[in-house]
Amino acid sequence: MQNTTIAYDSKVEGEVIVTQADAVINWIRKHSVWPMPMGLACCAIELMAAGGARFDISRFGMEVMRFSPRQADCMIVAGTVTYKMAEVVRRIYDQMAEPKWVVAMGACASSGGMYRSYATLQGVDRIIPVDVYISGCPPRPEALLDAMIKLQDKIGTERSVKNLIPKKADSEEFATAEKES
């Protein structure tokens, strides 16, 4: 897709490349994913391994792990989400600036995993929208890298301006606030 969005003819355009805003913005976004490690259980150990020298997540341009949600744009939920923790996960997700993506790493984050019990949220997608799921208990670091590359592909196909338009819920809130004032 990227190849078809670039038109370049050095004789005609000189040093100018003609392309689409989407292609440029997505290209920037997908190669500067700043993950927010939401490490909740053993998957977080594999996540750390992916950041280390052996697996080296920085080969794919996403090594800047940020522990502040305000500086991150991809939450990697690595581990078991309990109902008590669900509130925290959602609040941290809400604090991340748009555009933002979520990777559910491992069986627990994807579906509750082996914890079929009263205390465990059966899949983090019940409280936040998930972009990529990773199977495994825990997944190998390579699986995480594969998922992140899949996420990059997904970012590449997005309409990059969609988050500039207020969502329906936001605009309704805005409308009621306008009326009151």
Closest CA to 139 of 56, 34, 51, 45: 45
Q: Which is closer to another protein, CB of 8 or CB of 83?
A: 83
Smallest separation (angstroms) from another protein to the CB of 163: 18
Q: Which is closer to another protein, CB of 49 or CB of 127?
A: 127
Pairing of strands 74-78, 101-105: parallel
Q: Which is closer to another protein, CB of 119 or CB of 137?
A: 119
Q: Which is closer to another protein, CB of 25 or CB of 86?
A: 86
Q: Which of residues 107-146 bind another protein (CB under 8 A)?
A: 112, 115-122, 126-128
Smallest separation (angstroms) from another protein to the CB of 29: 25
Give me the phi and psi of 169, to 5 degrees please. Answer: -60, -45
Beta bridge partners of 74: 35, 101
Q: Which of residues 6-65 bind another protein (CB under 8 A)?
A: none
Distance CA 102, CA 132 (A): 7
Smallest separation (angstroms) from another protein to the CB of 118: 3
Largest CA distance in the chain: 68
Secondary structure letter of residue 140 according to DSSP: P
Query: Which string of x and - marks every residue 75-94 that binds another protein (by CB under 8 A)?
Result: --------xx-xx--xx---
Close Cβ partners of 93 (under 8 Å, ≥ 6 residues apart): 69, 75, 100, 102, 127, 128
Q: Which is closer to another protein, CB of 18 or CB of 119?
A: 119
Size of the site for another protein (CB under 8 A): 18
Beta bridge partners of 102: 75
| Interacting residues with another protein (CB under 8 A) | 83-84, 86-87, 90-91, 112, 115-122, 126-128
